[in-house]
Amino acid sequence: MKTKCIICVFLFTGLMLSCGSTKTADNPDDKLVGDWSLIAKATPQGDVSITMTIAKNETGMFEGSFKSFMGDFDMSNLVLKDGVISCDFNVQGALFEFKGVFTNDEFKGETLGPTENYITNGKRMQK
């Protein structure tokens, strides 16, 4: 009888442990990782083509950068949540703020400079 009780306890414990989910929830913003082709409209240099790269580092935090004919610029203070992005970046000593919204494979945003703001829209680049 004692053996049957011990077996029942082990079976019950095993059943309870197997019912728990071991899968972690996916972050819906993970689908935004990759390269995006953007255009900053009507800047002093004209319309500027920009490649925005969003990645995840080894700790699972988002990081990113911009690349244009003016150079490569790392994003700082990056926040990406629920398809909305905001960050800062520095160009030749001038601080810029970048913000926008992702909708599927399109991006609509704005680059806020020290004296002017620039509409910055684009699309996901094909892999």
Give the model confidence (pLDDT) of 73-127 as tens digits. Answer: 999 999 999 999 999 999 889 999 999 999 999 999 999 999 999 999 999 998 6
Cα-flanking dihedrals φ and ψ of residue 48, to 5°?
-110, 125
Task: Name, in order, each residue with C-beta under 8 angstroms of 83's C-beta and a sequence gap of 6 or more.
Answer: 28, 29, 32, 101, 102, 103
pTM: 0.77
Q: How many CA atoms lie within 13 A of 82 on its CB side?
A: 0
Task: Name, in order, each residue with C-beta under 8 angstroms of 77's C-beta and a sequence gap of 6 or more.
Answer: 86, 87, 88
Identify the structural domains of the chain with CATH numbers, from first to last: 29-124 (2.40.128.20)
Cα-flanking dihedrals φ and ψ of residue 109, to 5°?
-155, -165
pLDDT digits (tens, 9 = 90+) for 30-39: 999 999 999 9
